[in-house]
A = this chain, B = another copy of it.
Amino acid sequence: MAGNTFGHLLRLTSFGESHGPMIGGVIDGFPAGLQIDFNKVRSAMQRRKPGNGEFQSQRNEDDVPEFISGVYQGKTTGAPIAFLIANNDQRPADYKELENFFRPSHAGFTWDAKFGFHDPRGGGRSSARETAIRVAAGALAGQLLERFGIRITGYTSQIGAIVIGPLREVPNAELISGSSLHCPDPQAEALMQTLLENLKTEGDSTGGVVSCMIEGVPAGLGEPVFNRLQADLAGAMMSINAAKGFDYGDGFEAAGKRGSEHNDPFSVGEKGLHPATNHAGGILGGISTGETILFRVAFKPVSSISKLQITADKEGTMKELSIGGRHDVCIVPRAVAVVEAMAALVIADHMIVSGHIGHNIT
């Protein structure tokens, strides 16, 4: 099946392999008339880019998308926006010795089962390199949303066992951008840094959680029953590499609560009747309430570790394996930009579907 297109009326089609000449995307259904700030696109790309910190893959990519259609004199035209991102720093040789192995917890095994073929050169299509495409597209969707007063803020809320408590207020943007781990809590960040250093030394890895807040969404987004806003958000987030869980509002915590604690009674404020306590996380019955949308995405530990693993090779012989190459210790800090991008695509799509944004916004 064609599984590389995402969205209802605003659609991203993604293409390209990790070790081919380039990757890219086509954004279709984007309204005409938005003046694009290319610096903001570059800065979103920068946050996802490998090579930013000592716990990240040292693959060196510029990751500056080249826009080849749909933009004229810096403005979107309503035509599909295609962009290309070069793969400069491919090193297929790193993967040479893996040809006789499926790497544990990598997609090579299942791609081979499905397509009778797998690309040993760094995961091919299942590589996290694919997420660069989402960030580029999401950066455009994010700029569109800003024009309509919607702002998306993701941050690292857990790495390994280090967890910051649930925030109800959007954290300070500088706190996040000032942290190489995109964590707004300096004390937790210091602990996370220490943890990552230790893991790096051991040749091990860890998982974590990205939290995300969407401010300014008008009440009324989301479609009844199957296309509830949280269903579309969950599908989007669970399509990100290494994502293992999604929840929104009080999420899994809500399972242990009482109705009398969890209910959001209505109160009356500046914006009229509204469920101010927002345990719901900004969505009721699948439709946005007008409150801030709050959700979390859990990520598994990076599967490529240099620590010895005992596994079987393709002939079924037990072997010791230590994976070299340039790998992250924890994907979460880089995943923040990807979560934000997917959130921007979902919300922009629903803004269009619901008629809040038309074909032409000039």
A 213-256 to B, binary, CB cutoff 8 A, 1 in contact else 0: 00000011011111110111111111101011111111110111
Q: Are B5 and A28 in contact (CB under 8 A)?
A: yes
> In the assembly, what is the distance between CA of A234 and CA of B240, in Å?
12
Query: Which residue of chain B has its CB nearest to the CB of A117?
Result: B32
Interface size class of A (residues with CB under 8 A): 35 or more
A142 adjacent to chain B (CB < 8 Å): no
Residues 83-107 (chain A) with a chain B CB within 8 angstroms: 84, 102, 104-107
- Give the shortest distance, in Å, between A255 (CB) and chain B (any CB): 4
- Give the shortest distance, in Å, between A201 (CB) and chain B (any CB): 13
Q: Are A245 and B244 in contact (CB under 8 A)?
A: no
> In the assembly, what is the distance between CA of A353 and CA of B160, in Å?
37
**Assembly of this chain: how many copies?**
4
Q: Are A114 and B220 in contact (CB under 8 A)?
A: yes
> In the assembly, what is the distance between CA of A207 and CA of B251, in Å?
10
Instruction: Please list the 4 inter-chain residue pairs (A to B) with the smallest Cβ-Cβ separation, ordered nearest first.
Output: A107-B285, A3-B223, A245-B247, A235-B235
A-B contact pairs, 24 of them (CB 8 A): A1-B354, A2-B80, A15-B70, A15-B80, A15-B82, A16-B69, A32-B115, A32-B117, A77-B119, A109-B275, A110-B222, A110-B283, A110-B285, A125-B225, A158-B256, A206-B257, A226-B239, A230-B243, A231-B234, A235-B238, A247-B298, A255-B299, A259-B303, A273-B314
Interface residues of A (CB under 8 A from B): 1-11, 13-17, 20-24, 26, 28-29, 32-33, 68-70, 72, 77-82, 84, 102, 104-111, 113-117, 119, 124-126, 130, 158, 160-161, 199, 204-209, 219-220, 222-228, 230-239, 241, 243-252, 254-268, 272-273, 275, 279-281, 283-290, 298-305, 307, 309-312, 314, 316, 353-355, 358-360, 362
